[in-house]
């Protein structure tokens, strides 16, 4: 029986895989055991295992799906960077005393939304949980049955509410809810009315819903979960008018102007920043959330605060297209077609330039399509593109493959060309 290879020697042979030594030893042991029990060459098995382990780690990819906010690909790509230095995270530079990590962000949120005060937590679900726990524990919260949504990963609004200690008070029906339905449940035990934006689904046909403006002033604080993170319907950070596909999307500023007491929204969707949840509105309500013990458990770290700060400064400075999301969202199809033509000229063969339809994604604006341009490759080559040194994530079109250039950064065009050449060679 052939002597198994040395685990140490096998691990050292994998040193160019990019994995640390402890993981390489683990891979080598697994490969030796597999070879012993099932046959095969331990070195070949180890190389495959190391490759698989390395690709499980966070790694850059090219988003060629046409989904601008692709949850599996990190939603809004970040342009922010954090210097490797100490910061005044919780230091008041005027007094030299301990300060608040939220103070500067609160100023920016006020400027961006018109809110009296803002608070940042680690994601939008965390913001919902904190608001409910701080403002409605052991009391009722009225929500339309047509808005009891499930978000990604199977988390549902009733489940989040249950964990917060609030009591769900369902009003109306799945397809029709009227103002009278809300008024009928308002009593001393009702802490909040919560309106949840239908950002990832549509109910069509025989329907009726109550606008947030009509729910304001009912004697109970109104909390609107906007989700999508559009700060202002006017998009003042763009040179031109807002994209036409945003015409029905409510903005945080306008929702507060229409009477909402609090708005809740994401940082990594239409805002174009890092994963975060924002609570903005009445100062007393936000302060109650900030004082709740959950606020510390949900607080963001310095890297999120730095990225969020840079994102808001960019938007407030009117430089929206400096953010990758807004660049993707507003690039003209003529420019996309020019890039696609240059890539086809370089590649030749059976690759064609085609009209496509991109989508916002990230649980926002269902059914919205954004005109785009893509590359059509005959056959399903998605696996080969993912296997490239710099993976390219494409989408299927029947039996063929499309790389939508709206979601591909111009600097990555050469990576797409290289991946397509690799796919052809397989």
Q: Where are the domains of the chain?
A: 21-56, 62-76+325-425, 103-320
Which ranges in 266-412 belong to alpha helices (H)? 283-291, 293-297, 302-316, 324-330, 333-347, 382-386
Asked if 237 contacts 243 with a C-beta cutoff of 8 angstroms, the reply is: no
Segment (H or E) for 252: helix 252-257
Residue with tokens 């002597």: 3
- Closest listed residue to residue 115, CA positions, set 313, 315, 263: 263
- For residue 203, the tally of other CB atoms under 10 A from its CB is 14
Q: Hey, is 156 helix, strand or coil? A: strand
Segment (H or E) for 404: strand 400-404
What is the structure's pLDDT at 313?
96
How many residues would you count in the chain? 426
> pLDDT tens digits for 13-68?
999 999 999 999 999 999 999 998 888 889 999 999 999 999 999 999 999 999 99
Token readout for 267 is 């940082």
Task: Report phi then psi at 281, rounded to 5.
Answer: 150, -135
Whole-angstrom distance, CA of residue 355 vs CA of residue 368: 16
Asked if 278 contacts 119 with a C-beta cutoff of 8 angstroms, the reply is: yes
Whole-angstrom distance, CA of residue 359 vs CA of residue 338: 21
Whole-angstrom distance, CA of residue 12 vs CA of residue 70: 37
CATH number of 62-76+325-425: 3.90.1150.180
What is the structure's pLDDT at 180?
97
Whole-angstrom distance, CA of residue 195 vs CA of residue 226: 8
103-320: CATH, from 3.40.50.2300, 3.40.50.670, 3.40.640.10, 3.30.420.40: 3.40.640.10
What is the structure's pLDDT at 335?
98
Q: E strands within 178-271? A: 190-196, 222-227, 262-266
The sign of the CA dihedral 154, 367, 265, 203 is: negative
What is the structure's pLDDT at 153?
63
Strand order in the sheet with 352-361: 67-69, 352-361, 370-377, 400-404, 395-397
Distances (CA, A) of 362 to 247, 268, 375: 18, 9, 23
User: Residues near 189 by Cβ (< 8 Å), separated by ≥ 6?
Assistant: 139, 140
What is the structure's pLDDT at 1?
42
What is the structure's pLDDT at 248?
86
What is the structure's pLDDT at 200?
64
Asked if 171 contacts 185 with a C-beta cutoff of 8 angstroms, the reply is: yes
Chain centroid, CA 150 distance in Å: 16
User: Residues near 273 by Cβ (< 8 Å), separated by ≥ 6?
Assistant: 76, 78, 80, 267, 307, 308, 311, 312, 323
Asked if 57 contacts 21 with a C-beta cutoff of 8 angstroms, the reply is: no
- Closest listed residue to residue 130, CA positions, set 290, 317, 322: 290
Flag residues of the chain having pLDDT under 50: 1
């Amino acid at each position: 029986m052939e002597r198994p290879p040395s685990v140490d020697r096998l691990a050292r042979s994998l040193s160019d895989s990019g994995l640390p030594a402890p993981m390489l030893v683990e891979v080598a042991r697994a490969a030796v055991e597999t070879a012993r029990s099932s046959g095969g060459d331990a070195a070949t098995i180890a190389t495959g295992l190391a490759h698989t382990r390395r690709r499980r780690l966070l790694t850059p990819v090219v988003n060629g799906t046409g989904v601008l906010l692709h949850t599996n690909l990190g939603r809004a790509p970040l342009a922010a960077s954090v210097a490797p230095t100490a910061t005044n995270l919780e230091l008041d530079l005027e007094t030299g005393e301990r300060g608040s990590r939220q103070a500067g962000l609160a100023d920016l949120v006020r400027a961006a939304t018109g809110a009296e005060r803002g608070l940042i937590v680690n994601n939008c679900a965390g913001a919902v949980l904190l608001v409910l726990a701080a403002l409605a524990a052991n009391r009722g919260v009225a929500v339309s049955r047509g808005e009891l949504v499930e978000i990604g990963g199977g988390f549902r609004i009733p489940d989040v509410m249950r964990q917060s200690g609030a009591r769900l008070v369902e009003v109306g029906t799945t397809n029709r809810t009227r103002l009278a339905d809300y008024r009928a449940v308002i009593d001393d035990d009702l802490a909040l009315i919560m309106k949840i934006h239908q950002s990832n689904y549509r109910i069509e046909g025989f329907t009726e819903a109550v606008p947030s403006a009509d729910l304001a002033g009912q004697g109970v604080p109104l909390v609107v979960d906007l989700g999508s993170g559009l700060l202002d319907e006017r998009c003042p950070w763009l040179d031109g008018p807002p994209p036409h596909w945003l015409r029905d999307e409510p903005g945080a500023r306008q929702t507060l102007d229409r009477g909402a007491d609090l708005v809740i929204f994401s940082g990594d969707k239409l805002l174009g920043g890092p994963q975060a949840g924002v609570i903005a509105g009445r100062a007393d309500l936000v302060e109650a959330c900030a004082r709740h013990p959950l606020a510390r458990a949900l607080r963001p770290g310095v890297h999120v605060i730095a990225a969020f700060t840079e994102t808001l400064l960019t938007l407030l400075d009117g430089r929206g297209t400096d953010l990758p999301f807004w660049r993707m969202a507003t690039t003209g199809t003529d420019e996309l077609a020019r890039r696609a033509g240059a890539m086809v000229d370089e590649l030749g063969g059976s690759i064609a330039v085609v009209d496509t339809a991109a989508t916002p994604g990230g649980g926002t604006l269902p059914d919205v399509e954004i005109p785009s341009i893509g590359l059509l490759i005959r056959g399903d080559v998605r696996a080969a593109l993912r296997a490239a040194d710099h993976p390219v994530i494409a989408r299927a079109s029947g039996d063929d493959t499309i790389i939508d250039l709206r979601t591909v950064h111009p600097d990555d065009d050469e990576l797409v060309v290289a991946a397509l050449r690799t796919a052809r060679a397989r």
